[in-house]
Structure 1
């Protein structure tokens, strides 16, 4: 019996020898590819230029106010409003602060604005929960009513409200004014939240109901956490709107101890007297709290505005 034994072909020792550490393995040469989209089109440069011009135009008034807030009156009259201060007058801000009693005005504005936000958001949440989730009767009629409250001008409501506050004993009181503005703003919040709750997934509510959750549990455990981005935006808007209110506090808050920041700054200019540097310092004092507020809550505002953009 013959057995064929096949002998393997001898292999070169270089085939199994490890590569020399000093020599790198040959690399395949690829053609250099230019990354797509690396070059901007002329349209993108035009958009960047337009946005830059818009930002500069927006910041220009603030820069003028900042320059004139530390000028002397003689410097302003001699060189105008656009010149650099020849001598920085740091005491003018303190003088305006004491003249306006800005500490009391600032405390009043913060208290009223926070109270307005609390009342408006709570009322809007309850109303929208009943209209958008509960599907109450005459839902459309309620929405039209709340929309009508938003479009009514303040000038048409100020006189009835004035006489109502007089009769109810709420005139020249921060509590009555806070309740009034909070109820007024809640109409807008109700209209906004009702449209948001109308598209709320009903499956979650039905599943929670099957698990034994009541209406209050559904509101606090499901509706409120999922609608918090919208509520945070409403809080920011209501705070800013309440801070900048002028007509209602002008009519309803007449005493110096109850006035807000806009009313306190309005006394800096009279019919026959006007000091541009003091007005600029007063405007600077009125703007700084809003800038600080936006810096604190800018993340909440951004999240709320972009909450429904990406799912």
Structure 2
């Protein structure tokens, strides 16, 4: 007896593609695109005015298209502020702060989140309070302390200050993450004879490495853009950073707008390149943190 298969006659349920979810998806996409365009408008104006002559800027204003390709502003900023030296100072300070702040945050959070030291909640609250304190309230004590110990007008003073400031946020964040670390994993490592340093190196660090990568990127960019503390602590031209050098172009009664825009454009390029290079690392770190 022949058996007729009727499975092909059963209508298959249509699976909806994730790229076709109705009009709401397109509305959200349009709003995000509009927000991105609005955020890019100041950068477009900066790019236009960076290649505009002072006479063209004075006669036509900042919103007009340049009548000539003016590059003297770029050359003036490059030579007057000694941009290669300022770039090295910013790179040295930001890179050192990023690495040291991540290391200090990891050690502090390991003691608070996994070590369960006494008064853990109070200590974490103090780190949160320190992170919320404005820099204006810290500048005078930091200034006099640097004067007393002989670190004033040195990159080391700024590195120490921002390492403490950034690690306050990193400690608060990592302590919350490590506070929920599975105790069974730690107990299994202890049964295998692993000490505290071995647990930190082989168990904790591999699991929080994506979060550490995100903190490293944020600490670098935040320190790169800092202005107030480097302005007060670094008075010598050979120790100043890029934001301080950019502010030096603005006089009391006279400001060369094309040169200032050119300087802002050059100063922005390293941070943008750093973000583009580590964008994938940032995305993976955020995704891994969300999954955990």
TM-score, length basis structure 1: 0.86
Tell me by how many angstroms 1:310 deviates: 3.4
Instruction: Specify which of 275, 279, 284 is matched with residue 294 of structure 1.
Output: 275
Are residue 83 (structure 1) and residue 64 (structure 2) matched?
yes
Partner of 2:175: 194
CA distance in 2, matches of 1:151, 1:199: 24
1:233 alignment partner in structure 2: 214
Q: Which runs of 5+ in 2 are unaligned?
A: 1-7
Q: Distance in 1 between matches of 2:289 and 2:149?
A: 44
**Aligned partner of residue 290 in structure 2, secondary structure:** coil
Q: For the structure 1 residues 29 and 130, does the alpha-carbon distance in structure 2 shift closer, same or farther, using more than 3 Å as the test?
A: closer
The structure with the greater share of residues assigned to helix is 2
> What are the equivalent positions in structure 2 for 1:19-34 lying under 5 Å apart?
none
Match of 1:205 in 2: 186
Q: In 1, Cα distance between the equivalents of 2:281 and 2:20?
A: 34
Q: What are the residue-to-residue correspondences of 1:246-285 with 2, within 5 Å?
A: 246-285=227-266
**How many equivalent residue pairs?**
284
Mind listing any 5+ residue stretches in structure 1 that lack a counterpart? Answer: 1-27
Change over 3 Å in CA distance of 1:220–1:40 after alignment to 2? closer
Deviations 1:286-306 (A, max 9, x none): 110111001111011101111
The answer to which of 43-52 and 56-65 deviates more is 43-52
- The separation in 2 between residues aligned to 1:33 and 1:114, in whole angstroms, is 55
1:140 paired with 2:121, answer yes
- Moved beyond 4 Å, runs of 4+: 28-40
In the aligned structure 2, how far is the partner of 1:98 from the partner of 1:89? Answer: 16
CA contact (8 A) 2:210 2:289 kept: no
| Distance across 2 between alignment mates of 1:36 and 1:172 | 63
Corresponding position: 1:110 with 2:119: no
Correspondence for 1:100: 81
Aligned counterpart, 1:167: 148
Indicate if the aligned counterparts of 1:119 and 1:183 stay in contact, CA closer than 8 A: no
